[in-house]
Amino acid sequence: MSTLLLDINAVNNLMNMPDVINVVEEAFRMWGEGKANMPAKAYLLVEHGDFRAMPAALPGCAGMKWVNTHPQNPSRNLPTVMAIMIYNDPETGYPRAIIDGTRITAYRTGAAAAIASKYLARRDSHTIGIVGAGCQAYTQILAHAELFALSSINAFDISKAAVDRLISSLPEFSIRNCSVQEAVASDIVCTLTPSRNPIIKKEWVIAGTHINAVGADAAGKEELDPSILKEAIVVVDDLRQASTGGEINVPIKEGIYTIDEVYGTLSELVVGKKKGRTDNKAISVFDSTGIAIEDIAVAKLLFEKAQQMGGYPSIDLIGT
C-alpha cells in the first residue's frame, strides 16, 4: 500500500473546471440526501494566524483539509492561505493521497458559486461583476463561463494592477476595469474581498441581480449593505457556518437580520426541495463560506484521475 503525493503541479495538471462543477454539485446533492457527513471545523489559533481542520465524508471517500490563514505572510513571500488535504479510503481509513489543497479551495469555491448562480441567477445572465480581483476572481470566471454565455466581465479592485493581471491572465475573456458600482451593475456579481465593512450599496443593485457573496468567511466580515439581504432571496452553503462567519454573520449579531429570513441552502436547491429563481425581478444572494464536502469531492476527483493516468509519486508512509 502507498499514498499518492499530488503537489501543486500535479493538481494543476489534473484539475478541470467542468469536472469540478459536476462533483461539487453532486456533493451538495448527496449532502441534501443525507449521504454526507461533515462535523464542525476544528479551529486552532496561534499568535499570527489560525488553522482549521475540515473533515468530511461522502459515499466512497473521506478525508480532511488542514488549512491555515496567516495575514502577514505576503510580507514573507508566502501565501496567506495554504492547505493540505489527506484523502482516505473510508472502508479502511488508509491514507490514499496527500494533496496540495490550495488550488482545490480556489476551484471548489468558484464551482460552488457558479452552481448557486445556475439555480439563482437569471438564465439569460451574460455579464459578471467581479469585486476583488485576487486569486478567487480567476476561478469564479472560469466556473461561470462553463454555465453561462458570458459576453463581458466588469472587474473592480482597489488595486488596478490586480485587475490588469486578471485581464492579461485570461485573454480569452472580455474583462474591463471598472468602478465598484459598475461591477455591481452586472447580471451576476461575485464579491471576493476580505472586507469588514459593507462595500456594496443597496441602491447600486439592479432588480434581477444575483450576488455570490464569497468574501466573508469569518466573524466580523461583511461585504453587502445588510438592507440588500433584507430584500433578497438568501441561500447559504451551510447555515451554521454562514450565521457565525458568512455574509449574514454581522447583520445577525447586530440584530438586523435573523436566521429565519434565510430562504434555504444550496443543497435544498440542488435536490429540488426548494425552488431556485422564479421571479426575474428578484435579487438573490448566495452566502458562500466554503465547506468540507466540496473539498473532499474534488480530492476524490483528483485522486481517481491520478490513479488512472499513473506516473505520480507515492510514499509508503504508514509502513503497512
Which residues here bind a second copy, judged by CB under 8 A?
1, 5, 7-9, 37, 39-49, 51, 53, 55-57, 62, 64, 66, 68-70, 73, 76-79, 82, 84, 86, 88, 90-95, 98, 100, 102, 313, 315-320
CB 317 to a second copy: min, Å: 5
**Annotated catalytic residue 221:** no
Nearer to a second copy, 86 or 143 (CB): 86
For residue 194, which phi and psi values (nearest 5 degrees)? Answer: -90, 25
Q: Cell 496567516 identifies what position?
A: 70
Instruction: Write a three-state SS string for the chain.
Output: CCEEEECHHHHHHHCCHHHHHHHHHHHHHHHHCCCCECCCCEEEEECCEEEEEEEEEECCEEEEEEEEECCCHHHHCCCCEEEEEEEECCCCCCEEEEEECHHHHHHHHHHHHHHHHHHHCCCCCCEEEEECCCHHHHHHHHHHHHHCCCCEEEEECCCHHHHHHHHHHCCCCCEEECCHHHHHCCCEEEECCCCCCCCECHHHCCCCCEEEECCCCCCCCCCECHHHHHHCEEEECCHHHHHHHCCCHHHHHCCCCCHHHCCEEHHHHHHCCCCCCCCCCCCEEEECCCCHHHHHHHHHHHHHHHHHHCCCCEECCCCC
Single-letter amino acid, residue 70:
H
Nearer to a second copy, 227 or 314 (CB): 314
Q: How far is CA 19 from CA 96, 111, 158, in A?
A: 20, 10, 33
Nearer to a second copy, 92 or 258 (CB): 92
Nearer to a second copy, 86 or 228 (CB): 86
State the catalytic residue, choosing from 41, 65, 118, 300: 65
Supply the residues annotated as catalytic: 65
